[in-house]
Structure 1
Amino acid sequence: MSKLAKRAIDLPEKVEVLFEKDKLKIKGAKGELFLNLKRGINVKIEKDKIYIEKDKKITLAKPFLGLSWSLLKNAIQGVSKGFEKRLLLVGVGFRAQIKGKKLDLQVGCSHPTELDIPEGIEVKIEKATEIILNGIDKMKLGLFAAKIRKIKVPEPYKGKGIRYKEEYVRKKAGKAAKGKGATA
């Protein structure tokens, strides 16, 4: 059994959780999320705590206990506080703009790259080189942030590209610096 699943999940005051068969509905101040659980996983809701248990008859539910616990915890945190990801555009002339429901990125390509902003994700541009993503669904937010980053992954020589704010890009020595001590 998962060590996580043994622990209770704290339920904030303004968050409501409804469990029917294999579906969970989590409603909070920021919005509502729906979560599908694997067959054989049960949710026990008390006043301010939630427990995840497996059905003893169904053995296939055991591997999904920890996953279900994490998904439920993230959903509760999302509808109560929300999630945020920050991306930095590092490079000369790199900038971002919002055009309607699209994110327009100019990151060293011959043409501007446009991405559709998914529903449930709010995009803000702070300066022209910092993108702030907010949302209640952690998985959807992470996938969109990864999609943006994939357009121009930070390169190891100058560090140019799109990266997460807290990400550290390890830089390499160039070809000239590498062979400086060698003689021909």
Structure 2
Amino acid sequence: MASHIGKLPIEIPAGVEVTINGQEFAAKGAKGSDSYTIPEGVTAKVEGNEIIVTANDDLRPTRAKHGLARSIVASMVKGVHDGYSKSLDIVGTGYRAQMKGKGIEFSLGYSHTITVNPPEGITLELPNPNQVIVKGTDKQAVGQVAANIRKLRAPEPYKGKGIKYSDEVIRRKAGKAGK
């Protein structure tokens, strides 16, 4: 039994250059470049304009790594070609953000402002003071930076104030009942 995800081929879009050197996988595209070390027991090869990831044996840990490696390689190929982005909304009276160099300074109702500087390979955009867009080629890094920003003031269930993902729905609670 092979991994259902692992056995799917990965199509290489036009403009993406893929190199496989032993266990080292590298992808280079319009948005940037990325590399990944494929785990032991899993191999990848390029056939035509597709990447085929195969497991060397049928042991359970190898099958798990097979699917993982295929997913990561597919994410890298998509990332260097299209890039990834996450959009966050800032909800609440007086809550806002402003650019400070490459980073963003948040005013979130605390006694101080919070400055977030993006790691290398990640860009932060501010289309308006109540929206932040995190962009980059690494899916995991984009998600992590967005999660760290959201964590600064997570949305609360009573008024919905805080930083939330644009597609996130906040489950609201009723306030305390009157007399």
Taking structure 2 as the reference length, what is the TM-score of the superposition?
0.94
Query: Which structure has greater helix proportion?
Result: 1
Whether the 8 Å contact between 2:103 and 2:124 is mirrored in structure 1 is no
Whether the 8 Å contact between 2:102 and 2:124 is mirrored in structure 1 is no
Q: Equivalent residue for 1:147? A: 148
Q: Equivalent residue for 1:167? A: 168
Distance 2:31 2:117 in 1: 22
Whether the 8 Å contact between 1:122 and 1:134 is mirrored in structure 2 is yes
Q: Equivalent residue for 1:101? A: 102
Whether the 8 Å contact between 1:40 and 1:58 is mirrored in structure 2 is no
Structure 2 counterparts to residues 118-133 of structure 1, below 5 A: 118-133=119-134
C-alpha displacement of 1:143 = 0.2
Q: Percent identity?
A: 38
Whether the 8 Å contact between 1:82 and 1:136 is mirrored in structure 2 is yes
Structure 2 counterparts to residues 1-184 of structure 1, below 5 A: 1-56=2-57, 60-176=61-177
Instruction: Point out the more displaced range, 59-68 or 141-150.
Output: 59-68
Amino acid at match of 2:154: V
How many residues of Structure 1 are paired with residues of Structure 2 in the alignment? Answer: 178
Structure 2 unaligned residues grouped into runs of 5+: none
Whether the 8 Å contact between 1:89 and 1:129 is mirrored in structure 2 is yes
Q: Secondary structure at the match of 1:19?
A: strand
Whether the 8 Å contact between 2:105 and 2:115 is mirrored in structure 1 is yes
Distance 2:60 2:84 in 1: 34
Distance 2:125 2:58 in 1: 49
C-alpha change, 1:172 and 1:57, in structure 2 (3 Å) is closer
Taking structure 1 as the reference length, what is the TM-score of the superposition?
0.92
Q: Deviations over 1:114-137 (max 9, x none)?
A: 112111111110110000111110
Rg larger in 1 or in 2?
A: 1
Whether the 8 Å contact between 2:43 and 2:54 is mirrored in structure 1 is yes
Question: How well do the aligned residues superpose, as a CA RMSD in angstroms?
Answer: 1.5
Displaced runs of 4+ in structure 1, greater than 3 A? 57-60
